[in-house]
């Protein structure tokens, strides 16, 4: 972020899966129904074993698990293509395996897994969501925006899919659309602090600073110890030359997390700029008095 003088402020960007302290959201296990939930700080990687009801289903599921344990992904995908329509439990197992691949950054294999599930079951909500999540983590933002849109078409109440879409749109430079996606996420889940934070980042990129401050304040109302929001709020206030307020925001952030170096740097820059401004005003003051006389 730049202030009017051209001095660069450090500023946390959008939270991105697997790259920042807070993951963009959680992957979904096959047994879960997609639903809006609060922001979380870890990726869910637990694989759920499938309980089947028929001997045929048990045999097919056992074959799937054996292939994956052996690393035979091609065989498992072929089995899913042949049997997944009649035995959805193997798609559920494959979905969880794909989530594990994503967590281990094996993105190409994860993409193959989710695509096969969607070949068999195009409206498989959890596979759609996990593909959207995976593509954001992979930084394939164009594809991610499309995948997240498909996810919300199937499940319009999926706040996390809108969050991921906002992340993808932000990195594509489509800031206004990113703001809109964040608004959808918070409309579904008003307690989604990360979505309010990311809205603030997108609004900052649009130079809509007062609105950005409101978004950061909303995030802080939900999560008072949100140091990234305090840091970004302080940076925006400094850009507006509201230095006292900026320093107060930085001080709160530092008190909460003394080792957060970005805030310390921004505070130092802000203090220097405030001193320079005060000195400029003091130097101009005698000249103003002479002119008045």
pLDDT tens for each residue of 187-214:
999 999 999 999 999 999 999 999 999 9
Question: Residue 153's pLDDT band (boundaries 50, 70, 90)?
Answer: very high
Nearest one of 209, 226, 211 to 180, comparing CA atoms: 211
Residue 3 token pair: 């202030």
Give 33-45 pLDDT, tens digit per residue: 332 222 322 333 3
Identify whether the C-beta of residue 107 lies closer than 8 Å to the C-beta of residue 99: no
The pLDDT, as a whole number, for residue 20 is 26
Question: Domain residue spans in the chain?
Answer: 55-231
10's tokens: 């450090």
Triad 32, 35, 36: Cα angle to 5°: 140
**pLDDT for 289:** 53
Please state which CATH class domain 55-231 belongs to.
Answer: mainly alpha
Q: Which residue has the higher pLDDT, 174 or 57?
A: 174
Given a cut of 90, is residue 104 above it in pLDDT?
yes
Q: What is the DSSP letter of 2?
A: B
Q: What is the rounded CA–CA span in Å between residue 198 and residue 169?
A: 11
Q: CA 225 to CA 244: how far, in whole Å?
A: 20
State pTM to two decimals.
0.79
């Amino acid at each position: 972020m730049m202030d009017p003088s051209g001095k660069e402020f450090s500023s946390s960007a959008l939270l991105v899966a697997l790259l920042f302290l807070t993951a963009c959201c959680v992957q979904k296990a096959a047994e879960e129904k997609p639903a809006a939930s609060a922001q979380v700080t870890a990726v869910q990687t637990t694989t759920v074993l499938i309980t089947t009801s028929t001997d045929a289903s048990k045999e097919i599921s056992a074959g799937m698990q054996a292939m994956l344990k052996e690393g035979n992904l091609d065989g498992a995908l072929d089995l899913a293509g042949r049997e997944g329509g009649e035995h959805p439990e193997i798609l559920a197992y494959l979905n969880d395996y794909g989530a594990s691949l994503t967590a281990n950054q094996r993105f190409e294999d994860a993409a193959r897994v989710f695509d096969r599930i969607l070949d068999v079951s195009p409206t498989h909500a959890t596979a759609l969501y996990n593909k959207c999540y995976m593509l954001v983590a992979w930084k394939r933002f164009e594809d991610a925006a499309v995948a997240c849109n498909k996810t919300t078409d199937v499940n319009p109440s999926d706040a996390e899919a809108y969050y991921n879409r906002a992340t993808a749109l932000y990195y594509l430079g489509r800031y206004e659309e990113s703001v809109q996606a964040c608004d959808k996420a918070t409309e579904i889940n008003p307690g989604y602090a990360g979505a309010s934070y990311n809205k603030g980042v997108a609004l900052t990129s649009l130079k809509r600073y007062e609105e950005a401050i409101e978004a950061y304040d909303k995030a802080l109302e939900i999560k008072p110890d949100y140091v990234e929001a305090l840091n970004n709020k302080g940076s925006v206030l400094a850009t507006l030359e509201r230095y006292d307020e900026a320093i107060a925001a930085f001080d709160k952030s530092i008190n909460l997390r003394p080792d957060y170096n970005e805030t310390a740097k921004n505070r130092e820059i802000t203090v220097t700029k405030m001193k320079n401004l005060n000195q400029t005003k003091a130097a101009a003051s005698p000249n103003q008095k002479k002119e008045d006389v």
